[in-house]
Structure 1
Amino acid sequence: MKPVSHLDSYRLQLMADAPPVPDLPMPWDARVARSDGYDLHLVHRWNQAPHVAAFRRQAWTLPQWERRLAELLAGDDVRPVLIGWHGRPVIYTEIYRAARHAVAGCYQARPHDLGLNLAVGELVMTDRGLVRSLLPRLTDALFEADPHCTRIVLEPDVRDARAISSFEAGGFVAADEIMLPGKLALLMVCKR
């Protein structure tokens, strides 16, 4: 039998699993997005919408989104998730391990830090307080799902005032402006 080292629990913390899928309280729900059918078409359409494409810059073709979702689902770094409100999908998010993302080059990411990219798909659903209502519930659920996670980060485009305002209202604090591939972003942090 192998002896147990006092460092074993620390080593476990250094090796973070795939990002969790949050268990959200009603009226919210979350599920992993599929790379085909309804989910694929919905994610593709939402990312084509001008209010999303202007800041996410992922107005890719349907085959590109099919490949992207399939790659994410096959890996352990990012979870593509559809978040529903009263049973209707309203938000696409990618939950990622910050230490395995480009953002890790901009701050001292810990192995269990999580990152979020959020997009409200339908323009008619924006400016209704959905994101500011969701974020405290989402961060609580993610912290509960990963007890080693102490920080969740967002990195919106600095020009996206609507998103930044919603993220602040939802409990995130601006930390610094950072350069990421394709954008100047505002690093925002929510601590446990």
Structure 2
Amino acid sequence: MPPTDASANAGTAPVTDTGTTSPTARESRIGPAADAGADSEDTLDLHLPDEFVALFAEDTGADGRRSVGEAATATAGPAGASATGATVVGAGTSTATCASEASPASTTPNPNDLLGDVADWGPISTPAGPLHLVPVRIERDLPIISRWMNDPAVTAFWGLAGPENAIEEHLRSQLIGDGRSVPCMGLLEGTPMSYWEIYRADLDPLARHYPARPHDTGVHLLIGGMSDRGRGLGGTLLRAVADLALDKRPACARVVAEPDIRNTPSVAAFLTAGFRFSAEIDLPVKRAALMIRDRSLRHLL
């Protein structure tokens, strides 16, 4: 669970405005989402059965890209095809004026869909300029992601500092996984400036720690460049991506995040983005603020 660029205002100390939540704060995002000791009547804590995972046949190339089988989603395509980096926003949505919300009644959700094809969500208009989230390609994006992760201000919350091969393992484990987590690069006006992870929170170990609902979508954000931090970009971009996820995933009723409770600029960025503070939760390596953006409240917050 990574941090969020979180900076809600200028002048914030760099260490506090670097992301959404840190991956180190949760157990493996790709591994089983449940264990024998976790049980709660209102918490969805799932381990995908082998037969279900088999529906998502993958063909992984040397560059870490994954071709998702047709069974995954009707619009599935190469998850790694796109310009520089990463992820989940779709065309036509704006943080100033949200595109009309996709109605769950008008679209029959595919029960086998983990996230859909994030690569096809397309660019989105924001007050800061067009943002395009493009799935990570190892050979292209590893050097810049590694540089960002080794920034001392980032390390404090992401915990991924180290040699490139360790960071590559973190990225590749998602790219060759079953599709429940997609690492992305964020291009603002065509320039790579952020790293994102879009994931199924209800299928993640995070679901052990809060009352998860089917298709809850989680988001992690890291603002990479120092020049992009402290400008309030976190809230602007988080709102755009959260609304895009709701537009593109009609089965999803909530977008969730879990920044470190100590990272007050990050929490402030989520509040600015229309998330509400739900609770404080204890995760393996941090105490987190559970932030939720509800589909039903998106036009009010």
Bin for the TM-score computed over the shorter chain? 0.7 to 0.9
Alpha carbons of structure 1 residues 54 and 19: separation in structure 2 relative to 1, 3 Å: farther
What corresponds to 1:71 in structure 2? 173
Classify the secondary structure of the residue corresponding to 1:36: helix
Residue 181 (structure 1) shift: 2.2
Structure with greater proportional helix content? 1
Higher relative contact order (CA 8 A, sep 6+): 2
| Matches of 1:169 and 1:63, distance apart in 2 | 36
| Matches of 2:217 and 2:108, distance apart in 1 | 18
1:156 is the counterpart of 2:259: yes
Q: Is the 8 A contact 1:19 1:114 kept in 2?
A: no
Partner amino acid, structure 2, of 1:68: H
What corresponds to 1:140 in structure 2? 243
Partner amino acid, structure 2, of 1:24: P
Classify the secondary structure of the residue corresponding to 1:152: strand
1:166 is the counterpart of 2:275: no
Classify the secondary structure of the residue corresponding to 1:176: strand
The runs of 5 or more residues in structure 2 that have no matched partner are 1-106, 296-301
Match among 29, 53, 56 for residue 158 of structure 2: 56
What corresponds to 1:95 in structure 2? 198
| Matches of 1:41 and 1:164, distance apart in 2 | 28
Paired residues, number: 182
What corresponds to 2:104 in structure 1? none
Identity %: 34
Q: Is the 8 A contact 1:19 1:96 kept in 2?
A: no
Alpha carbons of structure 1 residues 52 and 20: separation in structure 2 relative to 1, 3 Å: farther
| Matches of 2:108 and 2:245, distance apart in 1 | 20
Partner amino acid, structure 2, of 1:17: L
What corresponds to 2:114 in structure 1? 17
Q: Is the 8 A contact 2:122 2:132 kept in 1?
A: yes
In the TM superposition, what whole-angstrom CA distance separates every residue of 1:115-170 from its partner, at most 9, and x where no partner exists? 01111111221111211111221112111111100001010011111111111111
Residue 111 (structure 1) shift: 2.6
The runs of 5 or more residues in structure 1 that have no matched partner are 1-8
| Matches of 2:116 and 2:135, distance apart in 1 | 11
